[in-house]
Structure 1
Amino acid sequence: MNNSPLRARDWTNAEAIARWDASFDPPKPFATAEDGDFVKRHLANPHLLRLLGDVDGRRVLDAGCGNGYFARILARRGAHVVGVEPAASRCGYAREREAAEPLGVEYVEADLSVLPDLGRFDAVVCSMVLMAVPDWRAAMRACVSTLNPGGRFVFALVHPAFEQLYRTWNAHGEYRTGEYLAEYELPGPDASDFHRPVSAYLNELAALGCRFVEMAEPRLDPAVAEAEADPTLAAYVHLPNFLVVAADAP
């Protein structure tokens, strides 16, 4: 429960990237290299893929691709994928996977807020990234600027209203929070995320001239939770831990 949220200090993107780079642990990306972890497989990925639609033959940017698992999923579906990852260690891992199993994915190490000229894309996906970027507005603007007119921008976040869902549900049998409207730092095991209300992200989309398409709040299928025989998964059945948004560029 976050009754006394930390004051967010003036983070820079370089600081955040350095933290993510230093926290790289090879066994973790190896374990999630095919389709992500459990919650991404069952909650985020299906909605990201649905909202992107048919990617066969389309040029897609995976912005903040991490170990490259989602870029590889898209490439196997026929997309021409460029994956951008700011952390050198994670980008290096993705390149190693591409060398071992060539799928035609190009991986670029770059800060999302100051993207190099990568050409234009039919779609951009930014999964579980923006809440970890201090200069997130510049990153969103850069992503949208790479799109062809009418191109699809899809991003996923840890749901700002339920960021501590797993921990608080298992401690109290319900979700609890002490602050929502402020912006503050959320220290994590690898690096920090930054809490911002949902309205901040949606209003920025509007400011960029994007046409809102859909917002999804994924729920874990109760049958999946039952099959896992893990009572700690109940939180994901009752409340959304992720938020997935689709919008089209002007």
Structure 2
Amino acid sequence: MTEWTNEAAIRRWDSANTRQYMAATAEDGDFAKRHLVNPVLLRLLGDVSGKRVLDAGCGNGYFSRMLADRGAQVVGVEPADSLFAFARDTETGRRQGIEYVQAELARLPELGAAFDAVACSMVLMAIPEWQPAMRACVEALRPGGQFVFAIVHPAFEGLWGTWRDHGEYRMRRYLAEYEITGQHAPDFHRPVSAYLNELASLGCRLHEVAEPGLDPAVAAESGVPGIESYVHLPNFLLVSAYANG
């Protein structure tokens, strides 16, 4: 596997995201986030009204804005210049009370009071130094606070493409760690056990693991060849846990 650093990965994400793409996904993300990731994240977090929530790796800020719309006091952290600038500029226009901080998750600055919840959506699988990032998320919580993260499911990373091409899912490697070439920037394959064992080592209590499937009606309406694979197999893995306390 290529020796990636956090800084190199951040530069790749920074250059890959155009202002046009960020504007197109500014409300609730892309198709997969709208239909598979966001609904489960919001269900796991429950009522966030009045809660202090960290959106860890907030990207263009869309999930921060969704949380703020539901009454949360939101801090969004994003290291990439282009994504951070879009999030900050959008907040300047909307004035939802979101505080955006430009920083790496693995090297979080002082963010004030501890958080009731930390949401880390579609980030950990894109970070070379993912373990310090997960630790920082957990350490930002108050005792008993909730940590929720979403990643591409390590067992089904190439789901849509292989199903479209072969009419079934195919995977040749699982246990090894390796780089995956992505549309915007690389992801890094690690088995599910790596994430869950790291969570346990941080003293977290597992609450729920979710593997959402796509509504068949949504798949049919989309008209995208191969998208029915999301009905039958989970392309995303979401985990909810609580910090000791």
What is the match of residue 4 of structure 1?
none
Secondary structure of 1:154 counterpart: strand
What is the match of residue 64 of structure 1?
57
| Residues 110/164 of structure 1: CA separation in 2 closer, same or farther (3 Å cut) | same
What is the match of residue 10 of structure 1?
3
Equivalent pairs: percent with the same residue? 65
Secondary structure of 1:18 counterpart: helix
Q: CA deviation at 1:113?
A: 0.1
C-alpha distance in structure 1 between counterparts of 2:136 and 2:158, whole Å = 29
**Which stretch of the first structure deviates more once superposed, 218-227 or 57-66?**
218-227
C-alpha distance in structure 2 between counterparts of 1:92 and 1:226, whole Å = 36
C-alpha distance in structure 1 between counterparts of 2:222 and 2:30, whole Å = 14
Matches within 5 A, 1:119-130: 119=112, 120-130=114-124
134, 152, 160: which one pairs with 2:154? Answer: 160
What is the match of residue 82 of structure 2?
89
Query: What is the TM-score when the length of structure 1 is the normalising length?
Result: 0.95
227, 230, 239: which one pairs with 1:233? Answer: 227
C-alpha distance in structure 2 between counterparts of 1:167 and 1:233, whole Å = 9
Query: What is the TM-score when the length of structure 2 is the normalising length?
Result: 0.97
Conserved? CA contact 2:167–2:226, under 8 Å: no
Q: CA deviation at 1:24?
A: 2.1
Q: CA deviation at 1:231?
A: 4.0
Conserved? CA contact 2:220–2:228, under 8 Å: no
Secondary structure of 1:232 counterpart: coil
Secondary structure of 2:228 counterpart: helix
Q: Is 1:98 aligned to residue 91 of structure 2? A: yes
RMSD: 0.8
Please list the CA deviations of residues 36-61 of structure 1 after superposition, one character each: whole Å capped at 9, or x if unmatched: 11111110001000001100000000
Secondary structure of 2:11 counterpart: helix
Gaps of 5+ in 1: 1-7
What is the match of residue 176 of structure 1?
170
In structure 2, what residue type is equivalent to 1:204? Answer: E
Q: Is 1:192 aligned to residue 182 of structure 2? A: no
C-alpha distance in structure 2 between counterparts of 1:98 and 1:247, whole Å = 29
